């Protein structure tokens, strides 16, 4: 009898720069959802926001430095290496083709990103390739009253418990509690350009990289 394949978390973002808030979300998701690994996927050309402050090469390097000490974390360079815009649906298609039809894939999203799904390219097809896991503040859950009608209906249809993730390769919507850290990449860039310390906001190797390469000045 074939053993079930373990779930792989997928965490995309600009990571401009990657910081402790990103790392804590990934680690919390790994534990709460029983993920075997979490794959960080830095965006090359993010279509829904302005040009990042650091190049794709620099953001990829910082992601690798930040995750190097956690054996459950890995970094995917494909979006940075690609010439096209970084649409999530295209990344999921690529990963499903590479990893096969049976591996459970779990797309990790914050609440704000999930509520904005109707603005994403081919967003209703995301569940054809992966599960979606939404990070909530403790004690809170998704509120259908906050959602566009189509997203609320899809949420009601797809809701499942976290233990459902390994029973099928895609299609479920789960939630997990995430204690938010009041850290943002925007604030980090602003602080750095103003000459303020970034210590304790991001891992020391990332801080050293920013200093060496004179980023965000």
Look at residue 1 and tell me whether its pLDDT is greater than 70: no
Work out the average pLDDT over 152-177: 93
Look at residue 50 and tell me whether its pLDDT is greater than 50: yes
When computed from its CA atoms, the radius of gyration of the chain, rounded to whole angstroms, is 17
Work out the average pLDDT over 28-38: 97
Provide the pLDDT confidence category of residue 9 given band limits of 50, 70 and 90: very high
In residues, how long is the chain?
217
Q: Please choose, from the candidates 98, 22, 93, 85, the residue with its C-alpha nearest in 3D space to the C-alpha of residue 56.
A: 85
Q: What is the pTM of this model?
A: 0.94
Q: Report the alpha-carbon angle 76-209-44, nearest 5.
A: 35
Q: What is the pLDDT of residues 148-160, one digit of tens each?
A: 899 999 999 999 9
Give me the residue label for tokens 């109707």. Answer: 118
The predicted structure's pLDDT at residue 4: 60
CB 61 within 8 Å of CB 47: no
3 state SS of 94: helix
Provide the pLDDT confidence category of residue 82 given band limits of 50, 70 and 90: confident
Q: Please choose, from the candidates 145, 81, 143, 151, the residue with its C-alpha nearest in 3D space to the C-alpha of residue 116.
A: 151
Q: Which token pair is 69?
A: 């000490």
The predicted structure's pLDDT at residue 144: 78
The predicted structure's pLDDT at residue 83: 67
The predicted structure's pLDDT at residue 84: 77
The span from the CA of 107 to the CA of 71, in Å, is 19
Provide the pLDDT confidence category of residue 126 given band limits of 50, 70 and 90: very high
Look at residue 8 and tell me whether its pLDDT is greater than 50: yes
Work out the average pLDDT over 28-56: 90
The span from the CA of 177 to the CA of 200, in Å, is 23
**How many other CB atoms are there within 10 angstroms of residue 139's CB atom?**
6
- Identify the architecture of domain 8-183 in CATH: 3-Layer(aba) Sandwich (3.40)
Domain ranges of the chain: 8-183
Q: What is the pLDDT of residues 89-101, one digit of tens each?
A: 999 999 999 999 9
């Amino acid at each position: 009898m074939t053993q079930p394949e373990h779930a792989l978390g997928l965490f995309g973002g600009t990571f401009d720069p990657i910081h402790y808030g990103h790392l804590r979300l990934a680690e919390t998701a790994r534990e709460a959802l029983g993920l075997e690994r979490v794959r960080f996927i830095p965006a090359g050309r993010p279509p829904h926001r302005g040009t990042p402050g650091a190049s794709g090469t620099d953001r990829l390097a910082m992601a690798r430095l930040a995750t190097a000490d956690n054996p459950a974390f890995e970094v995917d360079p494909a979006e940075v290496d690609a010439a096209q815009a970084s649409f999530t649906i295209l990344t999921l298609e690529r990963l499903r083709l590479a990893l096969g039809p049976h591996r459970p894939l779990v797309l990790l999203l914050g609440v704000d990103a999930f509520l904005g799904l109707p603005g994403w390219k081919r967003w209703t097809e995301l569940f054809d390739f992966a599960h979606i896991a939404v990070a909530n503040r403790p004690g809170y859950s998704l509120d259908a009253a906050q959602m566009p009608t189509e997203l609320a209906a899809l949420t009601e249809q797809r809701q499942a418990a976290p233990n459902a993730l390994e029973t099928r390769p895609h299609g479920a919507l789960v939630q997990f509690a995430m204690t938010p850290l009041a850290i943002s990449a925007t604030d980090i860039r602003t602080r750095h350009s103003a000459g303020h310390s970034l210590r304790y906001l991001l891992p020391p190797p990332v801080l050293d990289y920013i200093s060496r390469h004179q980023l965000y000045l």
